[in-house]
Amino acid sequence: MDEEEEQRQGVWSWGAGTDGQLATGSLQDEIIPRFIRSLSAYGPIVSLSCGGAHVIALTPGGRVLTWGRGTSGQLGHGESVSSSQANVVKELEGFVITHVSAGWNHSGFVSETGAIFTCGDGSFGQLGHGDSNSQLYPRQVAYFASKPVEQVACGMRHTLVLLAGNVEHPVYGFGSGKRGQLGISTDNVKSTSLPQITLGLENLKIISIHANGDHSSALSADGSLYTWGRGFRGALDTYIPCLSDVAFPVSKVALGWNHALLLSREGDVFMLGGDRHGALSDPQKMPSTADTSSSAGEPEENITQIISGPANVKVVQIAAGAEHSAFITDNGSIMTLGWGEHGQLGLGDTNDQTAPQVVCLDRISAWGDATPRVYCGSGFSFVLMTRI
């Protein structure tokens, strides 16, 4: 990439780095954002997906780069070793990849023709190949050969798939279902290695799916949020997708291990759960449309407002790690809060933060007119700064 191209995009990373997931070339944590020059060799990056300790990057032409922990084959390079440097996934070179997802130790890739590929840890059936084998290279999931796929979402030990087009059953799940995260049965399903229909979403226009930890969610075109899997803040596990009692249309969702972030269309951020590692302080609880305990005895699912637009500042993007959160505001500020043990908040220390703090990037003066995007892995964070 020439100097002009390099000036179009900047990449920073911070947090846990012992598996090479920060792409710094070293295996250590970073408590302040580090500018990453090595990724510029591959040209601009369209998007990232950060998993347990590995990262998947997508280029404008549909090429895929991976780095970080590779001990289960999740990097897709044909070996079970980690890498602190980005490498092209050669097995996908014949395809234009349009959507990717990094789970705890597995990866998913969707092509522009609707094919889906998975690799990495398969011990819970989360690769969807009908067995519990791990895969060192991306392997096409045969079940979807005649069902074009639009999105994939990889969680801790499970995977969700969203089909393209208007179909009766838009979402499928496979892998571990112990906490109900597959949404395939009202009974306790330990695991399945073949895709099964996620129930309760029939004929809905689902625009995005999300998975992290043992949580799953889907967002519909009208801003309705459906959640299933492990309950938030002590609530019972849910085995079938349920319409969440959110009293506003949701525009974006990000899932952590113990919390979910919801972005309203007005630019306000709300949180479900998130009561560990000091993620909340003096929470302003926002009532849901039904904020009393259910007849089944489930604890009420209070929603906590984290950021409301002070001084007319609105949040435009959200991201969630295992137990930390990040936001981008419409004035370009990057803010983080939550668990900070590995420096994943990017604030120069390892403290937890109970309120959003502004992250400062070095070399930022050269990117005044650029648009930042933030991505969170389990204990680390990335920012892409792209000049239009």
CATH number at residue 31: 2.130.10.30
User: Could you tell me how many residues make up the chain?
Assistant: 388
Distance separating alpha carbons of residues 141 and 30, to the nearest angstrom: 37
Instruction: Tell me what pLDDT residue 61 has.
Output: 94
Instruction: Tell me what pLDDT residue 276 has.
Output: 64
193, 211, 53: which is closest to 124 by C-alpha? Answer: 193
297, 296, 215: which is closest to 262 by C-alpha? Answer: 215
Reported confidence tier of residue 208, pLDDT bands at 50, 70, 90: very high
Instruction: Give the percent of the chain with pLDDT over 90.
Output: 79
Instruction: Tell me what pLDDT residue 132 has.
Output: 98
Residue pLDDT, tens place only, 152-182? 999 999 999 999 999 999 999 999 999 999 9
With 90 as the cut, is the pLDDT of residue 12 above it? yes
Instruction: Tell me what pLDDT residue 362 has.
Output: 82
Instruction: Choose between 10 and 313: higher pLDDT.
Output: 10
Distance separating alpha carbons of residues 106 and 78, to the nearest angstrom: 13
Distance separating alpha carbons of residues 162 and 140, to the nearest angstrom: 15
DSSP result, 132-168: ---EEEEEE-GGGTTS-EEEEEE-SSEEEEEESSS-S
Burial of 320 (0-12, 13-18, 19+ CB in 10 A): buried
With 90 as the cut, is the pLDDT of residue 377 above it? yes
Residue pLDDT, tens place only, 114-145? 999 999 999 999 999 999 999 999 999 999 99
Distance separating alpha carbons of residues 330 and 312, to the nearest angstrom: 9
Instruction: Tell me what pLDDT residue 385 has.
Output: 92
Instruction: Tell me what pLDDT residue 286 has.
Output: 46
Instruction: Tell me what pLDDT residue 310 has.
Output: 54
Q: Ramachandran region of residue 297, left (φ > 0), alpha (ψ -120 to 50) or beta? A: left
Instruction: Tell me what pLDDT residue 298 has.
Output: 42
- Spatial contact of 125 and 184, defined as CB atoms under 8 Å apart: no
Q: How many CA atoms lie within 13 A of 372 on its CB side?
A: 28
Residue pLDDT, tens place only, 227-285? 999 998 888 999 999 999 999 999 999 999 999 999 999 999 999 987 766 565 444 44
Instruction: Tell me what pLDDT residue 179 has.
Output: 97
> Could you tell me the residue range of the domain that residue 138 belongs to?
3-386
**Residue 192 CB coordination number (10 Å):** 21
Instruction: Tell me what pLDDT residue 368 has.
Output: 67
Instruction: Tell me what pLDDT residue 207 has.
Output: 98
| Integer CA distances (angstroms), 280 to 187, 310, 372, 381, in order | 34, 18, 25, 20
Residue pLDDT, tens place only, 32-84? 999 998 888 888 999 999 999 999 999 999 999 999 999 999 999 999 999 99
- Number of domain units in the chain: 1
